[in-house]
Amino acid sequence: MEENSQKHLAGRRNFIKGVGLTVGGTMLSSPLFGFIPGDMGWGEGNSKQKKLGIALVGLGRYSTNQLAPALQETKNCYLAGIVTGSPSKAEAWKKKYDIPEKNIYNYENFDKIAENQDIDIVYVVLPISMHAEFTIRAAKAKKHVICEKPMAINEEEAQRMVDACNANGVQLAIGYRLHFEPFNKRVMELGQNEVFGKVQSIEAINTSDMTGGSLDVWRLDKERAGGGPLMDLGIYCVQGAIYTMGKPPVAVTAQFGEVTHPAYFREVEQSISWKMEFEEGVIADCKTSYADENGKSTLEGQAENGWWRLDPAYVYEGKKGQTSKGKMDLPNIYEQVRQMDGQAESFRNNEKSIVPGEMGVRDMKILMAIYESAKNRGERIEIQY
Ligand code: NAD
């Protein structure tokens, strides 16, 4: 049996609620300084309130296989519209999901979405270099935005996205689905509430072949992807380490891995390993790669009096977890349903999402520091927030 940490959780939540720390006028908000594991933003659904209409922008694999099916089960939001560059996809989706013609846009006429009362939320599911443009255009159309991870190709772009949403009075949330998922939430509790004592070390690995055996994919193109597996997969390790600790790292060091598939990895790294250093010297050892036939997806923590391990940790389905006290007895859920319901609920209530744009900016700062270190042969890069 795993130790029940609910009592620690309740105590911490009450503590956090009562504290309004500021440093230099900046609120020490959860995006930078940790998360409160619990039921905030969980979004179980409230049928008395209006369901918000979501328009998916970019109908690629993630929209097709995960988000659109999930939107058939959500209680706080529904698939109201689509934005696509492909007339044949528009036709197929229109039929499949019964989407009215007036709710179908292409990338050119997208700004007319401002006049569409059916659309409350624009969900940006495009190659990374297009996230900023479509988030900013959606904000100007006065729509709330969910933007996929990583938020942008660099920190400056990410900050402009947050600024645009603030300037237009709309909310911005990042597609960090694992904050709505029981196994990763358990890790947040175990680490942040010191259920097994203070965390001593973390290991996080996320590797997968995301090329599908093709050279012609945006993920290998630096201009559209911003970088390689660190941007796409490594961000889960960065997030995992931070939500274990409840605070971001103070410094990073990193090394690019060997290139064994030069035809594929001409522009972006094939693999990269890095260390994140937290206050009090806790180290998170992390690795990501696009060239690993036996993809790995793990998040481990070692604490003073015990340990935990998720394997797999970041995949959509079939998560498993273990602690030094036994198996984690938790359900596998449809996490995109929980994520979008949670985000829609926070938008509806005009509350900041538990995964706000500011969290995405923070993560971009860390990803850029990791690249800077790797480019400078593992130089230790301190990070200021
Ligand atoms: P994909 O390649 O399958 O889809 C990309 C879509 O963008 C396609 O419909 C394509 O037609 C469209 N597009 C428009 N302009 C394009 C251009 N210039 N080049 C290439 N495609 C263009 O990608 P995906 O796997 O669906 O990823 C989309 C986004 O979703 C990325 O930001 C990715 O990181 C994110 N994602 C998140 C998760 C998650 O678990 N949260 C999982 C997968 C992907």
Can you give the residue ranges of every domain in the chain? 36-177, 182-332+357-382
In short, whether 62's Cβ falls inside 6 Å of ligand 1 is yes
Model pLDDT, residue 18: 27
Query: How much distance in Å is there from the Cα of 327 to the middle of ligand 1?
Result: 35
Report pLDDT for 272.
98
Strand ranges in the chain using DSSP code E only, listed in sequence order:
22-23, 26-27, 52-57, 77-83, 104-105, 121-124, 144-147, 172-174, 199-207, 251-256, 271-277, 283-289, 297-303, 306-310, 321-323, 326-327, 381-382
Q: For this structure, is 236 an active site residue?
A: yes
The answer to whether the bond into 262 is cis (omega within 30° of 0) is: no
Give the position, in ligand 1's atom list, of the atom nearest the Cα of 128: 32
Report how far residue 385's alpha carbon sits from residue 381's, in angstroms, rounded to the nearest whole number. Answer: 13
Indicate whether residue 175 lines ligand 1 (CB < 6 A): yes
- Residue 311: the pLDDT is 98
The pair of three-digit structure tokens given for residue 111, joined into one six-digit string: 């700004």
| Residue 214 alpha carbon to ligand 1 centre in Å | 15
**36-177 and 182-332+357-382 have identical folds:** no
Looking at ligand 1, which atom is closest to the CA of residue 177?
A: 41
pLDDT along the chain (385 residues), means of 10: 34 28 32 44 56 98 98 98 98 98 98 98 98 98 98 98 98 98 98 98 95 89 98 98 98 97 96 97 98 92 98 97 98 97 97 97 98 98 97
Kindly give the pairing relationship between strand 26-27 and strand 22-23.
antiparallel
The whole-number pLDDT of residue 213 equals 81
Question: Which pTM value belongs to this model?
Answer: 0.91
Q: What spacing in Å lies between the alpha carbon of 292 and ligand 1's midpoint?
A: 21
Distance 127 CA to ligand 1 centre (A): 5
Ligand 1 atom 41: residue of nearest CA:
175
Q: Which CATH class is domain 182-332+357-382?
A: alpha beta
Closest residue by CA, ligand 1 atom 10:
60
The CATH class, in words, for 36-177 is alpha beta
Q: Ligand 1: does its nearest atom lie under 6 Å from the Cβ of 60?
A: yes
Which DSSP category does 355 fall into?
S
Catalytic, out of 51, 143, 149, 319 = 149
Q: Is 125 a pocket residue for ligand 1 (Cβ < 6 Å)?
A: yes
